[in-house]
Amino acid sequence: MSTTTRPRAGTARALAFLALLHPIAAARASAQVVAAPDSVRAIAPPRVPLPAEAASAGVTRFSFIVYGDTRGRRDGIDVQYEHSLVVESMLRTIASLAKGPDPVRFILQSGDAVVNGREPRQWNVSFVGLINRLTTEGGVPYFLAPGNHDVTGATEFSAPGRQAGLRNYLEATAQLIPPVGATRRLAGYPSFAIGYGNTFVLAFDSNIAADSTQLAWAAAQLQGLDRKRWVHVVALFHNPAFSSGPHGGPTVEPQTEIVRSRWMPLFRKYHVELLLTGHEHFFEHWVERYRDEAGNTRRIDQIVSGGGGAPLYAFSGTPDLRGYIAAAGADSVRLEQLVRPGMTPGDDPYHYLVVHVDGARMWLEVIGVDWGRGYQPYRSARAPLYDESDRR
């Protein structure tokens, strides 16, 4: 683990005051509190930690923030500027919802924190200071699933370059994800789960989607859930099953193929409702409807949200999903693309999502940032994550 030097109390107070006057300067100053150039500084723990699962069992209304792909043009040189705009907006949203019926309880990030996760300086200089603002000023827990830029796109767990990125990821998130030995943590992997209120979140590394150890761990986590308690089950990972950008469309990457063939049947079997992904730097929304073992029609929403600050992408083509649908067989899969990305970079702006949980239903709000304020991908900024005919 990192041999991080923590700021003294006076330093911490000075940083907090600086944050009020000049947020980006505060993030830069925070990034300088590093013990060694070859280690990654752990992100500060949240001011309000997620309670033990049992302690939140009665909570049925709250919200959480989702986004992905924050890597910046100057990683390792300066604070991620575009990401800082997103963070500023998030802090305002957290404050505005704090005293309402559905306050923000945590943040989920679907990967690609930095351009090259094998370089500690990129984490320390460009990323960690910004996330410290979310966990300390915003006060909320922050959970990151790894992207290919964080741990490389290697498909094997033991790939040498991957291990360097994985070590840095684990150092950065050491005070955020469940500790080693916890029931909700897969030892040695960046795979974990959290539960709050009536919602369970499974986070895994889709770069190594074919890894049998990770897949078996995830299946055991889902199989053991009390679905009377966990009304909503959410999966957080980097590589989407379906997308229409440069990583999708006519291209089928190895990770995508495995997510489709091994993970999607698992999600259908255990009735996972919501898939939160990135990899493509825009906003896209797919709905998969399928028939469960009792003959009922169920729904999985897959959101691609990669507008956290990385260079923006555009539509590249519609994926050919005929083989995927045929392979699903008796599940009778039907797919619908609710939102397609724009034809040019910038049609979909930097953005993040607020997912609102309200009892047995969820709905989302898309918040555009900077020049993208007012972004309305549904001819509004909001959409239900359920069918009106669903009476479950």
pLDDT digits (tens, 9 = 90+) for 31-88: 554 445 689 999 999 999 999 999 999 999 999 999 999 999 999 999 999 999 999 9
Q: Which domains does the chain have, with CATH numbers?
A: 43-384 (3.60.21.10)
Indicate the pTM of the whole model. Answer: 0.91
Return the half-sphere exposure (C-beta side, CA atoms, 13 A cut-off) of residue 27: 26
Whether pLDDT at 90 is above 80: yes
Whether pLDDT at 29 is above 60: no
Mean of pLDDT over the chain = 92
- Which pLDDT belongs to residue 10? 47
Q: Report d(CA 312, CA 341) in Å as an integer.
A: 11
Mean pLDDT value of segment 214-239: 98
